[in-house]
Amino acid sequence: MNAFYWPGSQLPAPTYWSGVPQGRSSSASPFGSIDRNARIAVVHDWCPHFRGGERVLSRICGLFPNAEVFTLFDFLPADVKEAYFRDVRFHASSANRLPLIARYYRSLFFLCPFLIEQFDVTGYDLVISSSAAFARGVLTRPDQPHLCYVHSPPRYAWDEQFSYLEQGHLRFGPKGLLYRYMLHHLRMWDTRTAHGPDLMLANSRYVGLRIKRIYGREAEVVHPPIAIEELDFVEDKLDYYVSAAFLAPYKRTDLVIQAFNEMPARRLVVVGEGQQSKSLRALARSNITFAGYLPRDDYVRTVGSAKAMVFAGCEDFGIALAEAQACGTPLIAFGRGGARDIVGPLGMTDDPTGILFDKQTVESIRQAVVTFEQNRSSIRPAACRASALRFSEQRFDQAILKNVAAVQALHATA
């Protein structure tokens, strides 16, 4: 999922949801059967930064005052925990104590199934897993309710294996063969554990299709929460486009930059840093500005004032895309993945909020920008804002509570 606060940026004062000021509340639930004071284990893959998955994690913890987090790796700084996980106890795996682990934890993916199985959550009243790979494989009792929120099945083990291997220069050779073998075993474990949770929730229709294809399970779509109140609506836009993402190969920011290289009269502001920062700066021409990591207020202001956000990657959902819409900023996005849940495409709805292009090519992006400018008056900022209200935090809370009640009811009648 996309970044909320770029690592190293200044955090704003925390904004808490209604009824949960300064910490967690045991206020009455709209679902009377739920004991909000129950002991709940919330299992999350890992916490390297406060990004989309961690925003979901924070929101879930805020619903239950006695929730505790179990995560493989925990690198969240103290100020983030104070702002978004106040009074929440974190349990990290034994591997979290390895020297310099923050530099190479992703390379230990082949150990993560074993590590997640070492968490003892059997004494808790309910398990909620927040999973993009390993969390839902935690071992539970047969009579223990388990709700799983799926950010995605592990992409690098399934449909995007070949793309990830190519990006890591692992297509050939002994090391590439070893990685393929380890991913094969990860797929077997992933399939074996797929029926552990009582219910699965998908963060987008695209992820729901992945769940159906890979695991043969149905999953209700519950979009991630967007902090609408943090995102100022901007009606009058400035004369530039924006791209906001962690600068990794799969985000395809390189295509956006190449497209704007061919449109020197149009300005592009690139927000974010990452492994491609140096190469992308070298690729860009003078009409492209790199803003780097931005504090939250500056980030919102930059995205909100842009005439449109341009994104060429395929996201499971795309928090940054939904946040841009909440600011009243139209989207020009690749028409696969979560963007199809977020954008009301020009020509397919009476009140469009952006343009979806079909191919991840420079020419497709360039033509989409031209189409946007030709039809800009048809894509109203107010329509973008109204559409984003579908992703409110309160709507997310209600969906989680409803499904917690559902998994508890399953065990009550078993």
Q: Which of helix, strand or coil describes residue 149? A: strand
According to the model, what pLDDT value does residue 31 have? 52
Of 204, 229, 391, 393, give the one whose Cα is nearest residue 300: 229
Over residues 208-227, the mean pLDDT reads 95
In one letter, which amino acid is 389? L
Over residues 49-77, the mean pLDDT reads 94
Over residues 394-407, the mean pLDDT reads 95
Q: Summarize pLDDT for 16-37 with one digit per residue, the tens.
A: 233 333 345 444 444 556 777 7
Over residues 48-60, the mean pLDDT reads 92
Q: Summarize pLDDT for 250-262 with one digit per residue, the tens.
A: 899 999 999 999 9
CA distances to 8, 50, 291, 298, 349 from 232, in Å: 23, 21, 20, 11, 25
Percentage with pLDDT > 90 across the chain: 75
User: Residue 339 has what DSSP assignment?
Assistant: H
Q: Summarize pLDDT for 138-170 with one digit per residue, the tens.
A: 999 999 999 999 998 887 767 777 777 776 777
Q: Summarize pLDDT for 329-370 with one digit per residue, the tens.
A: 999 999 999 999 999 999 899 999 999 999 999 999 999 999
Over residues 49-65, the mean pLDDT reads 92
Q: Quote the mean pLDDT of the chain.
A: 89
Longest dimension (CA), the chain: 66
User: Are 258 and 324 contacting, i.e. CB atoms less than 8 angstroms apart?
Assistant: no
According to the model, what pLDDT value does residue 407 have? 94
According to the model, what pLDDT value does residue 49 have? 87
* Cα 335 off chain centre by: 17
According to the model, what pLDDT value does residue 27 have? 44
Q: Summarize pLDDT for 379-388 with one digit per residue, the tens.
A: 999 999 999 9
Percentage with pLDDT > 70 across the chain: 90
CA distances to 23, 43, 92, 107, 229 from 120, in Å: 26, 11, 12, 24, 38
Q: Which tops the pLDDT comparison, 51 or 393?
A: 393
Q: What is the dihedral of CA 407, 403, 187, 167, to 10 degrees?
A: -160
Is the pLDDT at 172 greater than 90, yes or no? no
Q: What is the dihedral of CA 139, 140, 141, 146, to 10 degrees?
A: -160
Neighbours of 115 (CB within 10 A): 19
User: Are 151 and 53 contacting, i.e. CB atoms less than 8 angstroms apart?
Assistant: yes
Instruction: Quote the pTM value.
Output: 0.85
